[in-house]
Amino acid sequence: MNPPSMSPVSIHHTLFLLLFLIPRPSLAQANIPVPSSLTATNGNSSSWLSPSRDFAFGFRSLSNGDTKKNQLFLLAIWYNKIPSKTIVWFPSEGLPAPPVPENSKVELTNSGLVLINPQGEELWKPGNVSGTVSHAVFNDTGNFVILDSSSEVLWQSFDNPWDTLLPSQVLGKGKSLSSRQSEESFSRGRFQLRMLDTGDLVLNTINLPSDYANEAYYNSTATDDSSNGSTPGKELVFNSSGSLFVSKENGERLYLSQRDISPASDSYHRVTLNFDGVLIQYKHPKNSGSNGSWEPLWSQPEDICAKVTVRDGIGVCGYNSICTLGENNRPKCNCPEKFTLLDPSDKYGSCRPNFTQSCADDQERTKLGPMEDLYGFEELTNTDWPTSDYALLQPFGENDCRNSCLHDCMCAVAVWRDGRSCWKKKLPLSNGKIVPTLDGKAMIKVPKRDFPPTDFPLQEPKARYKDPKTLVLVGSVLLGSSVFVNFVLFGACMVFFLIYRKQLKKVSTKGTVVETNLRHFTYQELFRATNGFMEEIGSGAFGIVYKGVISNNVAVAVKKLTSMMRDKEKEFRTEVNVIGQTHHKNLVRLLGFCDEGQERLLVYEFLSNGSLSDHLFAGDPKLKTPWNLRCQIVLGVARGLMYLHDECPKQIIHCDIKPQNILLDNNCVAKISDFGMAKLLMMNQSHTMTNIRGTRGYCAPEWFRNLPITVKVDVYSFGVLLLEIISCRSCWGSESSGEEREIEALTDWAYDCFTEGRLDALVEGDAQALRDTEKLKNLVMVAFWCIQEEPSLRPTMRKVTQMLDGAVGVPDPPCPFPFSSCNTTIVP
Ligand SMILES: *[C@@H]1O[C@H](CO)[C@@H](O)[C@H](O)[C@H]1NC(C)=O
Ligand SMILES: *[C@@H]1O[C@H](CO)[C@@H](O)[C@H](O)[C@H]1NC(C)=O
Ligand SMILES: *[C@@H]1O[C@H](CO)[C@@H](O)[C@H](O)[C@H]1NC(C)=O
Ligand SMILES: *[C@@H]1O[C@H](CO)[C@@H](O)[C@H](O)[C@H]1NC(C)=O
Ligand SMILES: *[C@@H]1O[C@H](CO)[C@@H](O)[C@H](O)[C@H]1NC(C)=O
Ligand SMILES: *[C@@H]1O[C@H](CO)[C@@H](O)[C@H](O)[C@H]1NC(C)=O
Ligand SMILES: *[C@@H]1O[C@H](CO)[C@@H](O)[C@H](O)[C@H]1NC(C)=O
Ligand SMILES: *[C@@H]1O[C@H](CO)[C@@H](O)[C@H](O)[C@H]1NC(C)=O
């Protein structure tokens, strides 16, 4: 039969026959018509199969030990015929879609694919489907393709991979793979494989939750030893026979895995970026019954422990952990003796010492005996934490090295190597690894016996907090005045005391009966409110802030905290309630929160005018915030801080006062944000005290000196902020030269201006400020009181507010930096 002459009837006939010849399920399931849907249910979980039944697309139940009641499902593509049912794709596009509850649905409609919960609310859809969908095809390659009526591809899973590539898939420039957080957790991990625009294929870590990419630990271009190594790459190709190569601009190939690979017809192949950062190509025999397993064919890097050293973030293992190479080039992480996992379920996470040691502790402990009796050393051959040292002593013998660390209260570990070098290191230790070429050892300082714990409190008991200077003043007034005045004063004190006691009582009852109007949101509500966490408006150590809209068109800022330890729900609620009980004109209002599963979110009022840093350092002198407004902002911040320290039901130390954390409302009223975060961060598994100590440039010397952390750290930061507001200069110096020296510059320079009587230089000739000299000089002097190195010299925020108000005079401040040279003569 000649095809062109075939009649319509015979075509119909042939098609009809074909329908019978091809097994029905495959044909029906490979072409998915519009509309179609799948439901997430237990047992008979529905899925669509590729024609060969090799791959399935649908819902997978996640068995993470949860009770059957809260069973969650993941929309995914997986190998259908092998026992391990390995998952190769799940919805991502930026961030992974969350696991969904039972009876959620995925629907294919005219407008594309959409994942909805049992209430019919949309949870996820592919970001970029434009056009009218006619049908979808589930290819035998494992690619799920959405097509329009002219068979144009509108969207395909191969363009949006998460951690796995399949044969015939290509990774173009600008595209990347991300690791999962762990084998079982499908949230975003910290390793990436990226095909850069420059044509380099690299592996790197990122500093979650930001995208900041650290130095690459694998770079295809650097391994390219062909004479044409300079030709840039174009894309990473995983061809249908299982060969993996970088295809270059000039058509040449840089082979990554072997060229001869067992035929794709006998084996499944995949390339996966594992959660521990190792990129592996695997194969699995197709027809092996229940015996087969994934066999690694190729992997990079060869020694991940040696290759990954992250200066500005976490390495392969968490803090204080040690990386060793296990099977198949996969890393293993171990805590040293006397250290335990922070989160016992995360073997790759940080370790914490099960003892305390600090300079304050040591001062107490010297009463118990000589250092030699108190501390010993655990030795680990050829072990190093290469990024945690603070001192190099050489030439030094082993015993000198040990003694030096023993008597140095800052020293946590000494690494002695090459027979002469002694590196002293502090906690937290990072990038721990075995280095065979070290020719030395690590000596970890550990207590020889158990000491009672002496954690320093972040929240001081309120009643104990007294300003010694006030007491001295009262005393001297009493001594120096007449009996009658004394009598009157005594009476006044009694009245004051009674009122104070009453207030204390009120406070304590308020503290126990937690009564707030905080709204409890579900994760889905916030997911919708923020349009799937679309619009990012800020980020910090705690996580990322997104803009959103809740009911009644109220704009909100939703703060998504980095994941917390699982068993900290009660503590989280306690702290959220503390924040929720604050009510002050100069504080950003907390509206509600969400604590569902691992997710922790806070919902705040949205302030349209941005942060103080946007206004202060705008650059254009014409846009400079006027002097009067600046004075008003200063007073607002001071009042907000005074409330946090002194007046709210439970004292809150902010720990991170800086212009980025001062927001302005429509009327340019300053509102402090992020208060209460320090305690929340402490709860978080991935944070230690050192992460919390605010922001460089604004943090008080106590943070570095192991002194108790009190409200005075905020007073210090406020002082730096005050100088910034006066001068409209960042303590970081100009944008272009963010050198560490510049941080000192603002305070030093301001003090020089002050002592030389050149306040005009400080405000850069701001006419309005110069007309207001008295006020200007007052503000500057208050700032120098606040940034005194000695915490007890700094005033309380109440005193600061009074000085700013003009209610009390401002005495001449002493030099704030007694340890550096100060010009003490002040020009009047
Ligand atoms: C699965 O479906 C089959 C046929 O529809 C039914 O016989 C079976 O009971 C179902 N199993 C479960 C666990 O629902
Ligand atoms: C959306 O799809 C078009 C066409 O496929 C593509 O050119 C564009 O880059 C895509 N945009 C995003 C944000 O992925
Ligand atoms: C499905 O895969 C085959 C090769 O296996 C390819 O020729 C075809 O174009 C693919 N279909 C779609 C819709 O991508
Ligand atoms: C990768 O290596 C090449 C050659 O050594 C180098 O030019 C390039 O900058 C490297 N890329 C990255 C991201 O490190
Ligand atoms: C290098 O590239 C040039 C031009 O692209 C080509 O003529 C030459 O054969 C290449 N050399 C090798 C060893 O591939
Ligand atoms: C994949 O690449 C290998 C190595 O170059 C080659 O032998 C094989 O024919 C390629 N397969 C396909 C389908 O192009
Ligand atoms: C699986 O392994 C067992 C023992 O190792 C062997 O007896 C059996 O034949 C294997 N089955 C297949 C299908 O290879
Ligand atoms: C610390 O761990 C050691 C064993 O590693 C144990 O003997 C000791 O009791 C622990 N101390 C504390 C305070 O938990």
What percent of the chain clears pLDDT 90, i.e. is strictly above it?
A: 39
Q: Rounded to an integer, what distance in angstroms lies between the CA atom of residue 274 and that of residue 321?
A: 19
CA of 232, nearest ligand number:
4
Q: Rounded to an integer, what distance in angstroms lies between the CA atom of residue 748 and that of residue 312?
A: 28
pLDDT of residue 587: 93
Cβ neighbors of 116 (< 8 A, separation 6 or more) are: 104, 105, 106, 107, 122, 123
Domain ranges of the chain: 24-160, 517-605, 612-805
Q: Which residue's CA is the closest to the ligand 8 atom numbered 14?
A: 354
Q: Rounded to an integer, what distance in angstroms lies between the CA atom of residue 251 and that of residue 199?
A: 13
For residue 494, give Cα distances in angstroms to 471, 472, 505.
15, 18, 17
Ligand 7 geometric centre to CA of 292 (Å) = 9
The tokens describing 37, both together, are: 């849907």
Any atom of ligand 1 within 6 Å of the Cβ of 44: yes
CATH code of domain 517-605: 3.30.200.20
3-state secondary structure 528-586: HHCCCCCCEEEEECCEEEEEEEEHHHEEEEEEEECCCCHHHHHHHHHHHHHHHCCCCCC
pLDDT of residue 825: 45
Any atom of ligand 3 within 6 Å of the Cβ of 137: yes
303 among known catalytic residues: no
Q: Is pLDDT of 771 > 90?
A: no
Ligand 4 geometric centre to CA of 2 (Å) = 59
Ligand 5 residue neighbourhood (C-beta within 6 Å): 227-228, 250
Q: Name the nearest CA neighbour of 212 among 313, 90, 302.
A: 313
The tokens describing 8, both together, are: 């319509």
- Residue in the structure block whose two tokens are 């800086």: 658
For residue 37, give Cα distances in angstroms to 25, 123, 235.
16, 15, 35
Q: Assess contact for 62 and 40: CB atoms under 8 A.
A: no
Distance of CA 616 to the CA centre of its chain: 26
Atom of ligand 5 nearest to the CA of 226: 13
Q: Which residue's CA is the closest to the ligand 4 atom numbered 4?
A: 222
Ligand 2 geometric centre to CA of 154 (Å) = 10
CA of 42, nearest ligand number:
1
Ligand 4 geometric centre to CA of 430 (Å) = 25
Q: Which residue's CA is the closest to the ligand 3 atom numbered 2?
A: 139
The tokens describing 159, both together, are: 């363009």
Q: Which residue's CA is the closest to the ligand 4 atom numbered 9?
A: 200
Ligand 6 geometric centre to CA of 243 (Å) = 6
Any atom of ligand 8 within 6 Å of the Cβ of 449: no
- Residue in the structure block whose two tokens are 């035998």: 140
The tokens describing 759, both together, are: 């306040």
Ligand 6 geometric centre to CA of 269 (Å) = 14
Atom of ligand 1 nearest to the CA of 44: 1
pLDDT of residue 822: 56
Ligand 2 geometric centre to CA of 130 (Å) = 9
Phi/psi of residue 434, nearest 5 degrees? -90, 125
pLDDT of residue 528: 87
DSSP state of 791: G
Ligand 5 geometric centre to CA of 198 (Å) = 20
Q: Rounded to an integer, what distance in angstroms lies between the CA atom of residue 534 and that of residue 125?
A: 13
Helix (H) or strand (E) holding 425: strand 421-425
Given 361, 656, 674, 714, which residue is catalytic?
A: 656
pLDDT of residue 703: 77
Q: Is pLDDT of 514 > 70?
A: no
pLDDT of residue 753: 87
CA of 353, nearest ligand number:
8
Model confidence band, residue 820 (pLDDT cutoffs 50, 70, 90): low
CA of 336, nearest ligand number:
8
Atom of ligand 4 nearest to the CA of 215: 14
pLDDT of residue 319: 93
- Residue in the structure block whose two tokens are 């922790």: 600
For a pocket test of ligand 3, which of 139, 144, 150 has the largest count of ligand atoms closer than 8 A to its C-beta?
139
Q: Rounded to an integer, what distance in angstroms lies between the CA atom of residue 558 and that of residue 420?
A: 54
Ligand 6 residue neighbourhood (C-beta within 6 Å): 239-241, 243, 259
Any atom of ligand 3 within 6 Å of the Cβ of 49: no
Q: Comparing 32-41, 123-132, 524-533, 776-785, which segment has the lowest mean pLDDT?
A: 123-132
Any atom of ligand 4 within 6 Å of the Cβ of 224: no
Ligand 8 geometric centre to CA of 342 (Å) = 14
Q: In the chain, what are the helix, strand and coil shares in percent, each to the nearest 5? A: 30, 25, 45
pLDDT of residue 741: 44
Q: What is the mean pLDDT of residues 650-679?
A: 88
Q: Is 338 annotated as a binding residue?
A: no
Q: Assess contact for 713 and 653: CB atoms under 8 A.
A: yes
Ligand 7 geometric centre to CA of 291 (Å) = 6
Q: Is pLDDT of 503 > 80?
A: no
Atom of ligand 3 nearest to the CA of 143: 14
Burial profile 419-443: b = 16 or more Cβ within 10 angstroms, e = fewer: eebbbbbbbbbbbbbbbeebebbbb
Any atom of ligand 7 within 6 Å of the Cβ of 288: yes
Q: Is pLDDT of 202 > 50?
A: yes
Any atom of ligand 4 within 6 Å of the Cβ of 681: no
Classify domain 612-805 at the CATH superfamily level: Transferase(Phosphotransferase) domain 1 (1.10.510.10)
Same fold: 24-160 with 517-605: no
CA of 226, nearest ligand number:
5
Identify the CATH class of 24-160: mainly beta
DSSP state of 291: -
End-to-end CA distance of the chain: 111
Q: Rounded to an integer, what distance in angstroms lies between the CA atom of residue 40 and that of residue 59?
A: 6
Q: Which residue's CA is the closest to the ligand 3 atom numbered 7?
A: 139
Q: Is pLDDT of 619 > 90?
A: no
For residue 197, give Cα distances in angstroms to 168, 171, 202.
21, 12, 11
Q: Which residue did the predictor score with more confidence, 193 or 69?
A: 193
Partners of 235 in the β-ladder: 172, 247
Q: Rounded to an integer, what distance in angstroms lies between the CA atom of residue 470 and that of residue 522?
A: 49
Model confidence band, residue 4 (pLDDT cutoffs 50, 70, 90): very low
Tens digits of residue pLDDT in 227-273: 555 788 899 999 988 899 999 988 888 889 876 666 767 889 999 99
Q: Which amino acid is at 356?
A: T
Model confidence band, residue 2 (pLDDT cutoffs 50, 70, 90): very low
pLDDT of residue 759: 85
DSSP state of 625: P
Phi/psi of residue 749, nearest 5 degrees? -65, -40
* Average pLDDT across the chain, whole number: 80
Q: Rounded to an integer, what distance in angstroms lies between the CA atom of residue 64 and that of residue 183?
A: 11
pLDDT of residue 730: 81
Q: Rounded to an integer, what distance in angstroms lies between the CA atom of residue 502 and that of residue 544?
A: 41
Any atom of ligand 8 within 6 Å of the Cβ of 508: no
- Mapped onto helix, strand or coil, the DSSP state of residue 721 is helix
For a pocket test of ligand 5, which of 228, 248, 249, 255 has the largest count of ligand atoms closer than 8 A to its C-beta?
228
Burial profile 558-587: b = 16 or more Cβ within 10 angstroms, e = fewer: bbbbbbbbeebeeebbebbbbbbbbebebb
Any atom of ligand 1 within 6 Å of the Cβ of 41: no
Any atom of ligand 8 within 6 Å of the Cβ of 223: no
The tokens describing 585, both together, are: 């004109």
Partners of 39 in the β-ladder: 105
Q: Which amino acid is at 723?
A: L
Q: What is the mean pLDDT of residues 573-589?
A: 88
Q: Which residue's CA is the closest to the ligand 1 atom numbered 7?
A: 44
Q: Which residue's CA is the closest to the ligand 6 atom numbered 11?
A: 241
Any atom of ligand 3 within 6 Å of the Cβ of 139: yes
Q: Name the nearest CA neighbour of 375 among 429, 350, 338, 423.
A: 338
- Provide the strand spans (E) within 117-200: 122-124, 133-138, 144-148, 153-156, 164-165, 169-172, 176-180, 188-195
Q: Comparing 190-199, 388-397, 705-714, which segment has the lowest mean pLDDT?
A: 705-714
Q: Assess contact for 425 and 367: CB atoms under 8 A.
A: no
CA of 148, nearest ligand number:
3
Model confidence band, residue 748 (pLDDT cutoffs 50, 70, 90): confident
pLDDT of residue 621: 63
pLDDT of residue 704: 74
For a pocket test of ligand 1, which of 39, 44, 61 has the largest count of ligand atoms closer than 8 A to its C-beta?
44
Any atom of ligand 1 within 6 Å of the Cβ of 130: no
The tokens describing 622, both together, are: 């014409």
Tens digits of residue pLDDT in 142-173: 999 999 989 899 999 999 999 999 999 999 99
Helix (H) or strand (E) holding 823: none
Any atom of ligand 7 within 6 Å of the Cβ of 287: no
Q: Which amino acid is at 438?
A: L
For residue 257, give Cα distances in angstroms to 170, 233, 252, 261.
15, 16, 15, 9
For residue 382, give Cα distances in angstroms to 304, 350, 650.
17, 21, 49
For residue 812, give Cα distances in angstroms to 444, 477, 750, 797.
48, 22, 15, 18
The tokens describing 213, both together, are: 């990419």
Ligand 8 geometric centre to CA of 338 (Å) = 6
pLDDT of residue 250: 87
Atom of ligand 8 nearest to the CA of 355: 13
Tens digits of residue pLDDT in 685-699: 444 444 455 666 787
Q: Which residue's CA is the closest to the ligand 3 atom numbered 8?
A: 139
The tokens describing 16, both together, are: 């009809």
Q: Is pLDDT of 174 > 90?
A: yes
Q: Name the nearest CA neighbour of 283 among 263, 256, 305.
A: 263
